[in-house]
Chains A and B, each alone.
Chain A
Amino acid sequence: MMRVIHGITYLAYIGWAIVTGSLTIVTRLFRPGQYAHPMIVEVPLRCVTDLEVTLFASSITITPGTLVAAIAAGTSTQPPVFFVHALFEDSEEAALEGLYDMESRLLAMTRGRAPSSPAAPLAEVEQEEERP
């Protein structure tokens, strides 16, 4: 029963994300200056099953402004990892926060309750590479 409620709220959440993301893409068109700040962030997942990973990847991609560019399969020691291309986020932290929020809602739908463990922190935050 809780799953149905979580599922409905998740669908509403995705619908709202699609609408706001589309508005962002359209309104940015009429603003001068740089259109987007593209970035590719690394997202270690809490999703485990194929269904959860597939649903999460599709949800990210259908949301305008974020796109799954690559998926690394999980091993026995490491969770699966998404590489997400994000266009309109201010910083890597903001992008990850939004994605983990979506993941928590999705896991609440597939498992019946939100996961208790917080979002996994990035294993090691590499120093910002300087470009040649």
Chain B
Amino acid sequence: MSDAVATTLVGVFGITGSLLMLFSALAMFRVRDALSRINVFSPATGLGMPLIVAAVYVYDIHTEGFSWSSLLMAAVAVLCLIIVSSVASNTLSRASVLSGQPVFRKTAPNRLARPPEGVVDEDPDSLESSA
């Protein structure tokens, strides 16, 4: 691989990945509640970090030459990033819902706001609930 191609690819992947991280962080300031903040951060973990891994892999090919072990490492790293970040986002969102974090008031429709039909939802903290 020629110098120019390698440098361009590393630059494009690395800078795009870094910019995605930056823009995801900025997007977190534009939304108002915990769920949305977890939501808008997925470009960083789902695309930004794999792109940075791709940049490192291209750099590795260019300097050290092709090897199956580094290809395997890069593939496993990308797969793990995607799977782990997805499971982590699920866990964070469940934790935020179950711990009663407030949801942005303009969230509409909000199907979590009411109990299903026929279910009496008593607030354990309320004093009159047992009356």
Contact = CB atoms under 8 A, between A and B. Distances in A.
B55 to A, nearest CB: 16
A69 B99 CA distance: 12
Interface string A108-132: 0000000000000000101011010
Given A25-B43, A26-B23, A129-B114, A57 B109 contact: no
Interface residues of B, number: 42
Nearest first, the 6 closest Cβ-Cβ pairs linking A and B are: A22-B43, A42-B111, A35-B30, A62-B86, A58-B86, A67-B39
B109 A35 contact: no
B36 A64 contact: no
B47 A39 contact: no
A77 to B, nearest CB: 13
A58 B87 contact: yes
B93 A25 contact: no
A80 interface: no
Interface SS, B side: helix
Interface in B69-104: 82-83, 85-87, 89-90, 93-94, 96-98, 103-104
Interface SS, A side: mixed
Interface range on chain A (Cβ under 8 Å from partner): 35 or more
Nearest to B38: A67
Contacts of B85: 62
